[in-house]
Amino acid sequence: MHSITPKLIKKRIALVCLFITFSAACLAARMAYLQIFHSSWLKHNALDQRLDDRTIYAKRGTVYDRTGKTLAVSTLADSVYAEPNRLQNAEETAAKLAAILQLDAAKLTQRFKQGGAFTWVKRIITPEQSKAITDLQLAGVGLTQESKRHYPNGNLAAHVLGFVGIDNQGLAGIELAFEQYLKGTPGRIVTETDPGGRQLPDGVQKILPSKDGQDLVLTIDQTIQFIVERKLDKALKDTQAKAATIVAMNPKTGEILALASRPDYKPETYDEYSPLNWRNNAISNVYEPGSVFKIVTASAALQEQVVTTGEQFVDPGYIEVQGNRIYNWDGGDGSEKGNFVDMVKKSSNYALISVGMRLGPDRLYQYIDNYGFGKRTNVDLPGEESGVIIPKNEVRTLDWATMCIGQSIAVTPLQLLTAVAAVANDGVLMKPQIVKEIRAKDGKTIQAYQPEVVRQAISPDTARQMRYILEKVVSEGGAGKAAVPGYRFAGKTGTAQVAGPSGGYEAGKYVASFVGFGPLDEAPIAMAIVLYEPKGAYYGGQIAAPIFSEIMREIVQYYNIFPAAKPAAAGEADKNKPSALLAIPNCLNLTVAEATRLLREKGFTVKTEGGGERVTDVSPGVGALINTGGSVTLYAAKQNPLQEGETWVPYLQGKTIRETGELLAQAGLSFYPIGSGIAIQQEPAFGTKLAVGSTVTVYFANRPPP
């Protein structure tokens, strides 16, 4: 057994002392390095661990329609948060919160057990959820108010307005396009806390207030938007179309008065819908326009003087191009004679291709460019497509011929409407406009958007000739169902096959459309109507033109535009007065037979739809002034008998707020008014069966001056 000598002990002690000395020297060197070279970094991180920095989201600017009605506004809503380091029982707290907020309790427990000074539980909760959480008085759980975007009209103008995300950022529509103006400037709350997340009594506390966003005034007219969307929903139901779009514009200024597409969504709950519903088909969907595009070909031919309105044609019903026979839409059996106006009225493929071939590709492409096809209109909405045009250096004779009749070219509804609006505006192409002005919170205008001329697409004289032709299309041609008795309107129908993904066309799939404008004496509105893949009838003149008529009947009333005076016959100058106007009597809730008899006694012609026994709606509305002999449509929806505690929603349109309140009170219903003036829209609709005590939302508007 070896013995430990004093010499060995001293040696070991020396080694231990040397190791300790070396370690201390290393630690000292490291401390000196950190203190000298990283002192600012250490100081910053130490402060960062003690500071709780929270964002104060700014209140977004309000969005108004052109008449001052609110379309989007920010309100305050509660959000719930937790301070995990202060929770008494993470599992119990998570279970209680999850039950109220419809969350996964296990995942919430896991988050709480990770610790920390702050975590969101759920952003933007309902008042009922907020009250339930407050009543629990859970330690380490709190509520804070955040800005929430509210759209008081539900899905109205959804594709114009867009929506915002949970952090108050614009994600679509105007909300995205004008984010820099609407969002405002976020603020901050900075407080110094202890390791448990509690605020230090003498610690740092700074509040940097947020700055609210600026307001937008749109060109949209809420009343016209209501009219358009109501008719669009009806059209979608009647035609069972896959999708549909209507856009209305002031042709003299380019201001968009209404823009609606289906399918749509409610902006406040956008995440509950498919992203396909968010798509704004008016600017993002391209399609072959069909015969509506003949307006471009005809105006180009007239402008270039390769045809006159009086030139006579003998139409054999087809035309051959490069060995391909292109037939007229009606099958092309037999020959028809007529001048160029007659050919456009009957939408002759033969005549329009013939004059298009006289133009040649260079001149045809010039007018395609003049009208703005193949490029974006630059409307202030995100997601706009430019359309599809075959490059001129690649176009074949057959392509060029079919382009003359709206094939081999793809456009958006807004592009097409903008082009046709130029015809209504003496040939001047205007940039589509969706925003009128940006305002500060004090109401002062920061930026006003003025009408913007793009170019002179055709001459004023050519535009005048085209208006004459297109009026004949409505009054005498294939667009007769677009007519409004007593008023002069112009327009053109279109029916096109749906292009297949790999070329050619898909059997049985069509796009029906109508584009028109008027009344011609004033031309306050141009409108495009596009129905995608309707079932059953699919010609534009059958299903799109009547929608135009129904909408324009209501718009001329809204604008107080009276029917044009009829020209006097020789020797009857004293009779040159407006034709007799009669108000449609109240025939609601009458039997169809009673209402029909009443209207016919007044001199109206009557149509009925719906198959029910009693009249639930009438178009034009009760009190509307139309010509003697004008057509009135009665809607008689089938209704089931009332059960105990149920009531019918009364007809409210045209009533004042006071009259509306009285009618609803008599029916045992509550009343939620929006706007002022007379009732223009109600939700639910007249004739809907509701439980007594339910709320009916009624929208009011003042008619603009004539």
pLDDT tops 60 at residue 45: no
585 versus 252: the higher-pLDDT residue is 252
Window from 321-325, 441-445, 596-600, 682-686 with minimum mean pLDDT: 682-686
Q: How far apart are CA 479 and CA 474, in angstroms?
A: 5
Window from 198-207, 268-277, 298-307, 439-448 with minimum mean pLDDT: 198-207
- Asked if residue 318 lies in contact with residue 325, where contact means CB atoms within 8 angstroms, the answer is yes
Window from 186-195, 375-384, 406-415, 535-544 with minimum mean pLDDT: 186-195
Query: What are the C-alpha distances in Å from 339 to residues 294, 315, 469, 488?
Result: 16, 10, 11, 22
Average pLDDT score over the chain? 84
pLDDT at res. 577: 41
- Asked if residue 588 lies in contact with residue 617, where contact means CB atoms within 8 angstroms, the answer is yes
Residue ranges of alpha helices (H) inside 425-533 are 460-475
Q: What is the mean pLDDT of residues 490-501?
A: 89
Q: How far apart are CA 376 and CA 415, in angstroms?
A: 8
Q: What is the mean pLDDT of residues 347-373?
A: 95
Q: What is the mean pLDDT of residues 331-339?
A: 75
pLDDT, tens digit (0-9, with 9 covering 90-100), for 437-491: 999 988 899 999 999 999 999 999 999 999 999 999 999 988 999 999 889 999 9
535 contacts: CB under 8 Å, gap ≥ 6: 239, 240, 241
Q: How confident is the model at residue 200 (pLDDT cuts 50, 70, 90)?
A: low
pLDDT at res. 572: 38
pLDDT tops 60 at residue 48: no
Q: How far apart are CA 60 and CA 672, in angstroms?
A: 25
340 contacts: CB under 8 Å, gap ≥ 6: 298, 307, 308, 309, 310, 311, 313, 351, 355, 469
pLDDT at res. 526: 97
pLDDT at res. 214: 94
pLDDT tops 80 at residue 420: yes
129 versus 501: the higher-pLDDT residue is 129
Question: 79, 147, 261, 291: which is the annotated catalytic residue?
Answer: 291
pLDDT tops 70 at residue 390: yes
pLDDT, tens digit (0-9, with 9 covering 90-100), for 532-587: 999 989 999 999 999 999 999 888 878 878 776 544 343 333 333 444 667 777 77
pLDDT, tens digit (0-9, with 9 covering 90-100), for 633-667: 887 766 656 677 788 787 787 778 877 877 787 77
- The 3-state DSSP class for residue 328 equals coil
Most confident by average pLDDT, 23-32, 71-80, 183-192: 71-80
Window from 165-179, 343-357, 377-391, 562-576 with minimum mean pLDDT: 562-576
* 354 catalytic per annotation: no
Nearest C-alpha neighbor of 291 from the set 252, 337, 344:
344
pLDDT tops 60 at residue 705: no
pLDDT at res. 408: 92
- Asked if residue 698 lies in contact with residue 669, where contact means CB atoms within 8 angstroms, the answer is no
341 versus 686: the higher-pLDDT residue is 341
Q: How many CB atoms lie within 10 A of CB 476?
A: 14
Q: How far apart are CA 458 and CA 305, in angstroms?
A: 12
pLDDT at res. 631: 80
Q: How confident is the model at residue 51 (pLDDT cuts 50, 70, 90)?
A: low
Half-sphere exposure (Cβ direction) of 506: Cα atoms closer than 13 Å: 12
List of domains in the chain = 53-217 (3.90.1310.10), 222-558 (3.40.710.10), 578-637 (3.30.10.20), 640-706 (3.30.10.20)
228 contacts: CB under 8 Å, gap ≥ 6: 246, 248, 258, 260, 551
pLDDT tops 90 at residue 599: no
pLDDT at res. 333: 58
